[in-house]
Structure formats: structure tokens, C-alpha cells
Chain A
Amino acid sequence: MPIDPIYLDHAATTPVREEVFEAMKPFYGPRFGNPSSTHRWGREARAALDEARERVGRCLGARADEICFTSGGTEADNLAILGAWRALKPKGRTAVVTTPIEHKAILGAVHQAAQEGAEERFLEMTHDGVIDPASFDALVDDKVAVCTIMWVNNEIGSIQPVPELAAKAKQRGALVHTDAVQAFGKIRIDAQTQQFDFLTISGHKFGAPKGIGALFIRRGTHIEPLMHGGTQDRGRRPGTENVAAAVGLARAAELTLAECEAHCARIRKLRDKLEAGILAMIPDAVIHGRGAERAPHILNVSVPGTDSESLLMALDLRGIAASGGSACQSGSISPSHVLTAIGVRPDLASAAIRMSLGVLTTDQSIDRVIEVFPALVAKARQLTAAE
């Protein structure tokens, strides 16, 4: 294996931060109590959980009771969409609006709502991966129960104007959910001034462990729980709470926000350098979403005459970890639904490489990628030309 592996897949997951791990440890040790118990162990755990809830809330401009801990982004997305749809269905609001570039957790949940009678409405996207405002105005009407829009796209990084869209949708009486899994720590989120009703975050994208996320649920918003059993989290999410992970999530969220400005400036500079470096060596490389406002950590590039599968394999063998379209369960790669939805040519869609930067990204690692990537591309194109 190469000596110095380079991890360029922070949008997939990030390492657990040392401070986070430390903060969690006591809850795997002496403070192991069940927050529902009435004795001292229980009280101690309950206090830690409530505090974590408060701290996560503060990071989002929300109150503690508006934070529901979940197993991660997928559960939070499902809880918001299906929970809200099932609660609103009897009230005659029958449509669910979303974009075709959402994460599969959203598309799957919306599809489930459709199975239960909802009308699915998909917003039109521009070629840069931004919602067409006219389509939004046309589709978000008084029939809409839930409107769900991802804040930052996980594959190309394009940013949707969620605060404006949320305000509009609220005027029309819809509930608004936003998948902010890639947005947290990159975009200012403030539930006090922004009008979304639900917002999803996922811990492992910013230094907390896998298996913990949170759903912001605006006070007074009724949802049907997905699971049934206990009364934990006001009955919205029964099951003994993952205290250690909730504490970890709170710690990671605070650290992320504290460092947000410096971190974003740093990785934006590196991302732009990487992009410029690739374009200088490969002038016909296509950067997806380039015309849109983009989050600072994602670069998605297609080089004509290459394919993601071979290129990712070659990159990995040289120690560079990036990702392709959506990896399926078996681990093979199929063309991304996001790129397809924004009208990228099939041959380019199946050549897409996503590089996502983060804590592990250094100036030297970007230099090396700028050196290695064009060389691998040149080789891949030679093989294509020889066919």
C-alpha cells in the first residue's frame, strides 16, 4: 500500500474527533445509566442527555425540546417526512414536494409517502443543480403537506436558498423540511430567523460517531412517530437514548461551529486550488455545479473519455480515496441520480469523481492529487482512445 494515503471523502464520513471521543468515554464507563431510571445513575444520564439536547439546540438556534436525537440522517429524514405527512394526511394536504437531487433517504421516504397516497412533486433543477424558482412557485401550493429541500447537495455541493424557499412555502401553509447533513458547519443555520419546520443533521459528517444524528422539530409541530414503544423524547422517538453518542454529537457540533469560519476558509482555498489545478492540466474537465453557489468542501469533476469505476480504483491504488456516484449496497458504482437529474450527459455522469475535503486535507495532499489525478486521467484516456 502507498505510504501516505489521502482521504478525500469527507462528505461520506469523517473521523471521530479526539475531544468528542473523550467527552463520550465516561458514558461507556462509570456514567452508564439509563436516562429513564429514577435512581442516581439514571438522573446522571438524564442530566447529560438534557444538556446535550440543549447544546445541540443552541448550535441550531433552537430550544432543547425542539431537538430529537436519531440514529442518523436517514432516520431523521424519514421521521420528518413520513411523520409530518402521516400527521397532515387527514387534513387534506396531499402533496409532497422535493427535488430530484436529494439524498436517497429523502427520495425513499417521499416514495413511501406516495405509496401511502401522497402525490409526489419534483422541482425542476437548473444545470448547475439549483432549484428553478418558477417551478417552485408552480409546485408549492395549498395542497402541499411537506416540502423537503436539501440545503447542500452531497454530490456536487450546490446550495439551495433554503431560508427564502422556506419562507415562501410557509406562506402557502406547507411544512418545510431541510436535509442539512452537508450544510451543518458550512452554512449559517438559525432556527430563530429561518423558517424551516424540520432540519436534519448527521453526527459522523462533522467529527461525531456514526449512529447519531438529530432532527430539529419546531415547537408545536405535530408528527406521527415511526416507532412505537416507550415515551422517550416525548414519544417522538421511543427507545433508550444513546447518551454517549448524544454527548458526542453536542461536543462535535460546538467544536465545528467554533472553528467553522477558519475551517471553511481553509478548505475553500484548497478546493479552489484543486479545481484550478485540475482544470489547468485537463482543460476539458467538467466541474459539476460550478455556476452555482457551492459549499466549500465538495468538488465533483468528470473527464470525458474516462469512467469513474476505473479511475477510482486507480486513485485508490495510489492511496487517494475519493468517491463516484452513488455506491450501491454491493459496493459497485452506478451513474449518479443527481447528475442525471441536472442533465449531465450519461458518459460524463458515469465519469464523475467526487472529492470532498475536510479536517484531514492538507496543502501537500492537494498538491499530490493535482499531480496524480491528471496522470491517471491521461492514462485512462489513452486506453479509451486505443479501443
Chain B
Amino acid sequence: MSGGVDSSVAAALLVEQGYDVVGATMKLFCHGEDVPDRPCCSLDSVNDARRVCEQLRIPHYVLNLESRFGHDVVDNFVEEYARGRTPIPCVRCNTFTKFRDFLKKADSIDARWIATGHYARVVDGELRRGVDENKDQTYFLWGIDRGVLSRMILPVGELDKAQTRARAHAMGLEVIAEKPESQEICFVPDGDYTRILEQRLPADAPALSRGPIVNSSGSIVGEHNGFARYTIGQRRGVPGGFAMPMYVIAIRPEQRAVVIGTRDELLGGGIIAREVNWLLDAPSVGDRVSVRVRHRSPLAMAEIVRLDGDEIELALDEPVSAITPGQSAVFYDGERVLGGGFIEAARRSRSHLPVLAA
């Protein structure tokens, strides 16, 4: 329970349905002075969660998962940026922190199920997208252990956000009913992730050092102040004066280079992903899936062209913009989540030509 409306309503719905509910909030990082009040994970949020539980007359505990979270999520976040990638910490938090370490705490009190406020559904042991397409959070959930699905209850997955807020009001949870969304990464103060990198990487780290901005043919067109400050598709910090708007199309950490190009050059026809995890039986080469490469980006149709251990390659029917290493590729069959992986690279064209965008 983050102290937000979704997990609070989730708890309240379960209480209403007669479950014996125990509330818990994960303490994931130090509530120090450098993380001022945030919509999620701040001290006030813990207090809100506790108040909601008191109102629901259920116990509430704060569980300290700081060191595991620091290792599995925050350290990885920093390493990924140092490698020129754009990490997605919420995926690893769900995989390792929430649905593994936190689940162990549930075991220690004989709790049979684990419930969260995610907008997603578990139906017949399958993970499905939430009813509210706008809020769907399956993009962050593909990495969990398949065996955990049978223990998951996601009570707000059947609601849309407006309904969730309405339920909060109806159940008298005024403390949290109108709390703002938490959109940013919970452990990043002010949404400025570069501050975390500056704190944790050495001052002379390549990722934070000056380097060239080059165009797709390799000519130097400018200078940047650290490639970790850039992500694929970004326009901010990209030099102007070109005939067409320019975007970051690749990051080449070994040359400390940020590559820029046109909107066309941002398109990718294929995806290579690793650390693939299946929540249903693994599909085969030649199978067609829909895929999402960024939270809230539209679904794209693709064909699986290679499956190799935990690596997968897909060919997209239509090119997709800004396929970004470090983000997730999540595979769907209709509403059902098949699985996902971390994007390793985009293929420039649909064919198998070895022209990598990154």
C-alpha cells in the first residue's frame, strides 16, 4: 500500500469481499532530506496508508526492503544509464521487490494471496490488461515469476481510474480519494534522474562526461555533457539548424557519442529483446503477437522471427518509433500478456540486415 488511491481502494474492496486483509507498505529508500514529499513512497504516504488501514480496521506494517531494492533496482538503474540505456525500474521493482521479496513477507504471515493496486487483471491464471486501457500497467508486470500469478489479486484492474476514485469516496476514504497520480520514478527526487547518477557515479564517469553529438553518417555536429542525460527520441539538448527536426536516434557509449537523426531515422522495423520471461507457454518462431515497446505507446503487430534461450527477435508489420534499449518489450495475445523482455536493440529495417540502430 503506497498510500495512494489505487492500493487503498484495492484493500478496501478486499475487506468488503470478506478477505482477512493485512496492509503493508514497502520502505524502499531512505526518507531523507533529499527526497521531499512525493505522491508515492514519502513519509506522508506511509502515514496515509496507515490511516486507511486504521479506517478499514486492518493491521498495517512497514516493511523495510531498502537494501534489496537498492541492489536490484537502484543499482541497476544507475548501471543501465552508465551503459547508454534507458532503464525502467518499475519492472525490476515488480519482478524482484514486490512479487518476490515482498511476497516472502507474505509467506511469513501465512498470507495466501498478495494484492496490489495495479491496473491489470488475473483471469484463469493469466495476466490480462486492465479494463482501463489508459491506466493499464501490464507493461511493468511481465517479469514476475509465472508461479506468482495464482497468488495475485488485482482488485482495481476491473475498474477505470474514475471508478476507483468514486469507490474511494463511496467507502469514505477521503484521506486519499483525490491524491494525485504518481507518474515519476519513486526514488528520483524532483523527477531529475541525473541527480541520482551524479550522486552514485564517479565524477569522471563517461556517462556524465562531455562527448560528441554525431549524425547518422558519423559527422560531429555538436557536443553534449554526458550521454546519460539523453534517451532515444529526445529532442531537448539536440542542436538545431537542420532542415528537419532532429532526435536522438542512438547512444554509443563506447564512443561517448549521442547520435541524432530525423524522425524517419528513429523508426525501427525489428526488435531484439533479452531476459525474456513468459507468463504463458512460450510461443514459437512464426507466431504473431502484438507488442508494446514503451509505456502507453500503441500496440504494434509483429512476427517472432527468432527465439534463442532468453533472447527474442521480432519483425514489426509497421515501423515503430523510438525503440529504446533498456525499456521493455511486452508481448500480448489480445488482452492476455504472453511475456516480455528488455529491449537490447532495434533493427533499422524489417529484414535481417545487420544494420543496428544502437
Contact = CB atoms under 8 A, between A and B. Distances in A.
Interface of A: 309-311, 313-314, 316-317, 329-334, 379-380, 383, 387
Given A309-B63, A330-B46, A380 B22 contact: no
Contacts of A380: 108
A309 B66 CA distance: 13
24 contacts: A309-B61, A309-B64, A309-B105, A310-B105, A310-B109, A311-B108, A313-B22, A313-B63, A313-B105, A313-B108, A314-B108, A314-B109, A316-B59, A316-B61, A329-B43, A330-B25, A330-B43, A331-B61, A332-B63, A332-B64, A333-B64, A334-B64, A380-B108, A387-B104
Given A310-B109, A313-B63, A379-B108, 16 more contacts: A309-B63, A311-B108, A313-B61, A313-B105, A316-B61, A317-B59, A329-B31, A329-B43, A330-B43, A332-B63, A332-B64, A332-B66, A379-B110, A383-B104, A383-B107, A383-B108
A313 B108 CA distance: 9
A183 B248 CA distance: 67
Interface string B1-40: 0000000000000000000001001010001000000000
Nearest to B63: A309
Contacts of A334: 64
Q: State the 7 A-B residue pairs at the shortest beta-carbon distance, nearest first.
A: A310-B108, A332-B64, A332-B27, A332-B62, A331-B62, A330-B46, A313-B61
Interface of B is mostly: mixed
Contacts, number: 48
A313 B27 CA distance: 15
B50 interface: yes
Contacts of A314: 108-109
Contacts of B59: 313, 316-317
**Residue picked from B27, B43, B108, most chain A C-beta under 10 Å:** B108
Contacts of A316: 59, 61
B46 A331 contact: yes
B63 A317 contact: no
Nearest to A308: B64
B106 to A, nearest CB: 10
Contacts of B61: 309, 313, 316, 331
A329 B105 CA distance: 21
Contacts of B62: 330-332
B125 to A, nearest CB: 23
A167 B200 CA distance: 50
Nearest to A334: B64
Contacts of B22: 313, 317
A330 B64 CA distance: 10
A331 B105 contact: no
A305 B72 CA distance: 22
B23 to A, nearest CB: 11
A334 B66 CA distance: 10
Given A316-B59, A317-B59, A331 B50 contact: yes
Determine which residue in A310, A316, A383 has the highest number of CB atoms from chain B within 10 A of its CB, and name it: A310
A327 to B, nearest CB: 9
Nearest to A380: B108
A333 B65 CA distance: 10
A209 to B, nearest CB: 21
Interface in B43-62: 43, 46, 50, 59, 61-62
> Which among B43, B62, B110 has the greatest number of chain A C-beta atoms within 10 A?
B62
B39 to A, nearest CB: 16
A379 B109 CA distance: 9
Nearest to B57: A1
Contacts of A383: 104, 107-108
A236 to B, nearest CB: 32
A317 B43 contact: no
A313 B63 CA distance: 9
A121 B69 CA distance: 35
Interface in B98-116: 104-105, 107-110
A311 B25 CA distance: 16
A163 B46 CA distance: 44
A311 B109 CA distance: 8
A149 B177 CA distance: 49
Contacts of B104: 383, 387
Contacts of A317: 22, 59, 109
